[in-house]
Amino acid sequence: MTGAQTDPSTHSSAPAAAAYGPPVESRRPHLGHALASEWTKLVSVRSTLWTLGSLVVVVVGIGMIFIAQTSSGDYANIPFTTPALFGMLVGQLAVMVLGVLTITSEHGTGLVRTTFTAAPDRHRVLTAKYLVFGLVAFLTSAGSVFVVGTAAAIAHNGAGAGSHSTGEWAGALEGSFYVTLLGLLALAVGALVRHSAGAIAVMIGVVTLPPVAGAMLSIWEASAPLGRLVLQHNAPVALMQLFGMPSGTSPSGSPRRCPPI
């Protein structure tokens, strides 16, 4: 009994191709994937809650105390967002700490190897970190300032408060953006130093040392011009100017002073 013989290769090629083919269609990773990953990292660690929570507590808490100790007449020459400034001068440290921890925590635990294995393009990873952290920090800072400014406007919007414009709120938003930029600078320092304590120390020095150095240089007559220049151009003074606080000297040459509170 004879029959037609078939070539076994014709039956094995199709199953083999199906067995070794990809089970699902793979997609090329893009920035959206990195953003989703960095968002998950940021919201799943306790440092984010503690740092941003302390920022809100400090800005809103100090602002409310300031509001309780003032009257409508005190806002004749200062904007309603001024109470938020005093808390922001302290709260900016929390933003800088979070910026450092956003990158250094991965280096400290070794998870950065997993991150760069999954996403070898380091520029895309760092860009995603900057965007996610910057958005969260800005919204938190601006939201805290808005709460304090709104409370001051409601509590002290009397006849003695004077006229206020939307430019004051724009300046407060610029101040919040400025604090966010300090946090982004802290993230960059953390990416370079790769050590939490060292990067935080560098950023605290950048913010706090210039006023101290300017005051010390102002003691000696030879270095007094340099000391005054440093005192006029540093992070706290820039933040105060963005929030509309008087600074510098008046046209007559006498120092400008904030109204007594």
pLDDT digits (tens, 9 = 90+) for 203-217: 999 888 888 888 888
State residue 159's pLDDT score: 62
Task: Give all strands (DSSP E) within 17-82, no chain letters.
Answer: none
Asked whether the beta carbons of 148 and 64 are under 8 A apart, the reply is yes
Alpha-carbon distances of 29 from 119, 131, 176, 199, 222, rounded to whole Å: 8, 17, 33, 31, 59
Alpha-carbon distances of 19 from 7, 15, 22, 25, 245, rounded to whole Å: 20, 6, 8, 15, 71
pLDDT over 80 at 28, yes or no? no
Tell me the C-alpha distance between 134 and 139, whole Å.
Answer: 9
Q: For residues 210 and 157, which has the higher predicted lDDT (pLDDT)?
A: 210
Tell me the C-alpha distance between 140 and 51, whole Å.
Answer: 11
pLDDT over 60 at 154, yes or no? yes
Other residues' Cβ atoms within 10 Å of the Cβ of residue 173:
17
pLDDT digits (tens, 9 = 90+) for 44-77: 888 889 999 999 999 999 999 999 988 888 787 7
Strand-pair partners of 249: 255
Tell me the C-alpha distance between 85 and 66, whole Å.
Answer: 10
Record the pTM. 0.78
pLDDT over 80 at 249, yes or no? no
Q: For residues 149 and 78, which has the higher predicted lDDT (pLDDT)?
A: 149
Asked whether the beta carbons of 145 and 176 are under 8 A apart, the reply is yes
State residue 171's pLDDT score: 86
pLDDT over 60 at 31, yes or no? yes
**Which pLDDT band, with edges at 50, 70 and 90, does 164 fall under?**
low
State residue 110's pLDDT score: 81
DSSP state of 131: H
Helix (H, G, I), strand (E, B) or coil at 170: helix
Helix (H, G, I), strand (E, B) or coil at 81: coil
The proportion of the chain whose per-residue pLDDT surpasses 70, expressed as a percent, equals: 80
**Phi-psi category of residue 26: left, alpha or beta, with phi > 0 → left and psi -120 to 50 → alpha:** beta
- Angle (CA) 114-119-125 rounded to 5° is 100
Q: For residues 247 and 173, which has the higher predicted lDDT (pLDDT)?
A: 173
Residue 33 exposed, middle or buried by CB count within 10 Å (0-12, 13-18, 19+)? middle
